[in-house]
Amino acid sequence: MTESRPVLVIHGGAGTIARADPAAEAPYHDALAAILAAGERCLAEGGSALAAVGLAVDLLEECPLFNAGHGAVFTSAGTHELDAAIMDGATLRAGAVAGLTRVRRPGRAARAVMDEGTHVLLAGAGAEDFCRRHGLEMVAPDFFSTEERRRQLAAAQAEGRVSLDHDGSAPLGERHKFGTVGAVALDRHGHLAALTSTGGMTNKRPGRIGDSPLIGAGTYADDRTAAVSCTGTGEVFIRAAAAHDVCARMAYAGLDLATAAEAVVRDALTPLGGEGGLIAVDVRGRVAMPFNTAGMYRGLVRPGDAPMTAIF
């Protein structure tokens, strides 16, 4: 059997990101490149697509530059509610969690739900009890807090708005950034996986759940077509079933990955007012990263190559 050439693709959110001087952009490029390098080692050593996306999202969740895990945004009540989902393209198994407040690594929580196999999506106190019983690391709720996110909440509440990540005083002059993180991968055995994690929206109503933990909306993987992770206006991505729609256009209309992904962003999301983008990789290792905003933090790597990162 011919082995596939592995690839890992990651994103750290999309939005109306203002251009800044290279020094301000450098920390984002450096963080993305370091995460890609770790994922490249995993895939080069024969790691599975599931292992690669899990490692990448672990590191994205620990980086306060992005809205997932440590550095997650605040709800209107001054709390954090974390969501994540994972899907295995080989088996169509999936796991997801929503509304976590004490689980350090929501991506691992989603993986635990998938591996346990009874349910696909667990939320709130029941999800946290599940994580505790399965030995996942628990933290105090303020572990996720940073002063930058607290300032963003204060600004959003002063203006009476809900923000999908940073306000105008944030790094890079970001005014409207969708801070979800995600990873998709193809491993040497030809298997695909996708994992998405988010802190949600600044000043969102407590209990709000977006597209990230909803299989088919913000996260999807199928070895017959592609693995997809989305970032953007969650409510619209839910209505458009955006992640699954990419795969459906490939399976039923015979579109290639790039055409299918671009069509979803342009024809399904944009007319509904949906802003954001997605990353995707297909079974042949082809990559798509379309977005309809000013920028999207993104990058990809293949074993033996240097990581590629981009914002605009």
Domains of the chain: 7-310 (3.60.20.30)
Taking Cα atoms as reference points, which of 149, 164, 156 lies closest to residue 71? 149
Question: What is the model's pTM?
Answer: 0.94
Q: Is 256 annotated as a binding residue?
A: no
Does residue 175 carry a pLDDT above 50? no
* Residue among 180, 225, 293, 309 flagged as catalytic: 180
Check the annotation: does 231 bind a ligand.
yes
Give the model's pLDDT for residue 166. Answer: 36
Element at 59 (helix H, strand E): helix 49-62
Q: Please state whether beta strands 177-178 and 226-232 pair in parallel, antiparallel, or not at all (unpaired).
A: unpaired
User: Distance (Å, rounded) from C-alpha 42 to C-alpha 45?
Assistant: 5
232 among the known binding-site residues?
Answer: yes
162: exposed, middle or buried (C-beta count within 10 Å: 0-12, 13-18, 19+)?
middle
State pLDDT tens for residues 182-204. Answer: 999 999 999 999 999 999 988 88
C-alpha dist (Å) from residue 162 to 90, 128, 178, 209, 269? 38, 26, 12, 14, 20
| 208 annotated binding-site participant | yes
Counting every residue, how long is the chain?
A: 312
pLDDT band at 173 (very low <50, low <70, confident <90, very high): very low
From CA 49, how far away is CA 184, in angstroms rounded?
Answer: 8
The string of DSSP codes covering 209-252 is --STTSBTTTEEE-TTSEEEEEEE-HHHHHHHTHHHHHHHHHHH
Q: What is the pLDDT of residues 137-169, one digit of tens each?
A: 999 999 999 998 898 888 888 888 776 553 344
Distance of CA 269 to the CA centre of its chain: 17
State the pLDDT confidence band at 209, using cuts at 50, 70 and 90.
Answer: very high
Cα gap 91→221, rounded to integer Å: 9
In this structure, what is the dihedral angle of CA atoms 131, 133, 137, 142, given to the nearest 10 degrees? 70
**Rounded Cα distance, 228 and 251, in Å:** 14
Tens of pLDDT, residues 1-38: 578 999 999 999 988 677 777 888 999 999 999 999 99
Q: Is 16 a catalytic residue?
A: no
Amino acid sitting at position 13? G
Nearest-10 crossing angle of helices 49-62, 106-116: 150
- With CA atoms as reference, report the closest residue to 212 among 132, 300, 99, 103: 99
